[in-house]
């Protein structure tokens, strides 16, 4: 990570020089802006647990998001933005307060047709349509994002990274082009170990690196949107204690395509992701050291009026494209085959009685358990392949 640290330090010096020059020139354009949100959820399922012990008769209230964000416009070109977030999601998130993002933004180019700049700090990862704003209920299309792509069990890995990023927004005739590129250190921990290495080992990830880029094109004011995402990440794992290995390496490569059609009353959205995960030098402890994840969803949103919305979605993930039904995984590990896939049919409704209050309810029928967290479901043998989930969320922004 020495190169990343030097790059961040150099860019920080540039930003500091710009700030000092603007201060010297008497720029008085500084301004504060702040806001926040609170979301409370309730979930109940007939089998399996999601966001806490949802399978009991009373359901689970173990989902809450509380965020406070602020932006300081230091000069015409330099701003600082940040958000503190407390998130409770069953056993996956424990409601500790964390820095969701915190970065300095130098808008090097600003005119009527182009904006370009550099960001340094903790930056939200630009993955697909929704990853940057996934924690804000008003910006996501449903109470629960499609778990095939925006999995909550590996949210920490996808959410943000500490490093440097560059962005470009340019008007191209009837369309707008946005380009983002980032290099940094992703957030990894227990959730990432469970998802990538199958269990919470005594050791820990070290020397994490992530490079990602996204191109987003919007035509005719957003009537048609197309996005392409590429992520290349790697991390060493330092084995400790009773771990049966001293070190290992995990490589992750993700390619995603996002498409959306919009008109006044309806939106059609589809996203497709292929993710390759390879585990190297772990001493042969993994029966499947490499797997290729295939995931996609299609969704239709209907806006009945300015208060009521309806949506329907089909969402599917296959943990290994060479073992789609999980039978090979079952024969090698003895664990349920349905842990390697999930097919989710969802319908939902949203109601916004005021501009600052949003209520949502949705029903999921799921075949498979691939995106369920082992923290909420510690005994994989007790998982049931076919299950139903009801979610209700209330969110207020200020």
Residues 364-393 have a mean pLDDT of 94
Q: Give the dihedral of Cα atoms 182, 184, 190, 193; nearest 10 deg.
A: 80
Residue 75 CA to its chain's centroid (Å): 31
pLDDT at 161 > cutoff 90: yes
Q: Using one digit for the tens of pLDDT, what is the confidence trace for 265-296?
A: 999 999 999 999 999 988 878 878 889 999 99
**To which H or E segment does residue 79 belong?**
strand 78-89
Give the count of domains, the chain: 1
Q: Using one digit for the tens of pLDDT, what is the confidence trace for 167-183?
A: 999 998 889 999 999 99
- Higher-scoring residue by pLDDT: 128, 190: 128
pLDDT at 152 > cutoff 90: no
pLDDT at 235 > cutoff 70: yes
Residue 62: domain span? 2-397
- pLDDT value for 301: 97
pTM of the model as a whole = 0.87
| CATH code where residue 170 lies | 2.40.160.10
Residue among 380, 275, 362, 375 at smallest CA distance from 326: 380
* Average pLDDT of the residues of the chain: 89
Q: What share of the chain is helix, strand, coil (3-state, %, to 5)?
A: 15, 55, 30
Residues 56-70 have a mean pLDDT of 93
- pLDDT value for 30: 52
**To which H or E segment does residue 217 belong?**
strand 204-219
- pLDDT value for 316: 98
Sign of CA dihedral 373, 161, 122, 181: negative
Sign of CA dihedral 329, 331, 336, 341: positive
Enter the DSSP assignment of 145.
-
157-171, 188-202, 299-313, 370-384 — which is least confidently predicted? 188-202
Q: Give the dihedral of Cα atoms 145, 86, 375, 147; nearest 10 deg.
A: 10
- pLDDT value for 154: 81
The answer to whether 164 touches 120, Cβ cutoff 8 Å, is yes
Percent of the chain with pLDDT over 70: 92
Residues 295-323 have a mean pLDDT of 96
Distance CA 23, CA 36 (A): 30
pLDDT band, very low/low/confident/very high, at 157 (cuts 50, 70, 90): confident
- pLDDT value for 18: 44
């Amino acid at each position: 990570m020495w190169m990343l640290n030097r790059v961040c330090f150099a860019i920080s010096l540039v930003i500091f020089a710009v700030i000092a020059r603007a201060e010297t020139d008497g720029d008085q354009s500084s301004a504060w802006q702040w806001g926040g949100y609170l979301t409370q959820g309730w979930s109940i399922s007939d089998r399996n647990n999601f966001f806490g012990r949802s399978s009991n008769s009373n359901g689970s209230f173990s989902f809450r998001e509380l965020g406070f964000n602020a932006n300081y416009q230091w000069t015409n070109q330099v701003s600082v933005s940040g958000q503190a977030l407390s998130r409770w999601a069953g056993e996956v998130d424990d409601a500790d307060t964390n820095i969701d993002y915190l970065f300095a933004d130098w808008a090097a180019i600003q005119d009527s047709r182009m904006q370009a700049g550099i960001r340094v700090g903790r930056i939200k990862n630009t993955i697909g349509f929704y990853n940057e704003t996934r924690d804000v209920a008003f910006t996501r299309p449903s109470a629960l994002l499609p778990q095939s792509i925006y999995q909550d069990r590996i949210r920490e890995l996808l959410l943000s990274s500490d490093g440097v990023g560059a962005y470009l927004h340019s008007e191209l005739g009837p369309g707008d082009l946005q380009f983002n590129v980032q290099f940094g250190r992703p957030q990894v921990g227990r959730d990432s170990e469970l998802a990538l290495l199958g269990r919470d080992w005594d050791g820990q990830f070290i020397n994490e690196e992530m490079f990602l880029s996204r191109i987003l094109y919007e035509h005719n004011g957003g009537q048609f949107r197309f996005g392409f995402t590429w992520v290349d990440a790697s991390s060493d794992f330092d084995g400790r204690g009773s771990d049966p290995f001293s070190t290992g390496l995990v490589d992750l490569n993700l390619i995603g395509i996002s498409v959306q059609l919009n008109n006044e009353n309806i939106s059609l959205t589809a996203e497709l992701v292929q993710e390759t995960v390879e585990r190297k030098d772990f001493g042969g402890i993994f029966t499947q050291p490499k797997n290729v994840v295939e995931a996609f969803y299609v969704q239709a949103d209907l806006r009945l009026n300015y208060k009521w919305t309806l949506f329907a979605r089909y969402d599917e993930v296959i943990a290994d494209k060479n073992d789609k039904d999980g039978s090979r995984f079952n024969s090698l590990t003895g664990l349920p085959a349905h842990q390697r896939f999930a097919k989710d049919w969802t319908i939902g409704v949203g109601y916004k009685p005021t501009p600052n209050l949003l209520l949502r309810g949705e029903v999921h029928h799921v075949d498979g358990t691939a995106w369920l967290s082992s923290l909420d479901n510690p005994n994989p043998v007790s998982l049931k392949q076919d299950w139903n989930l009801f979610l209700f969320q209330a969110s207020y922004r200020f």
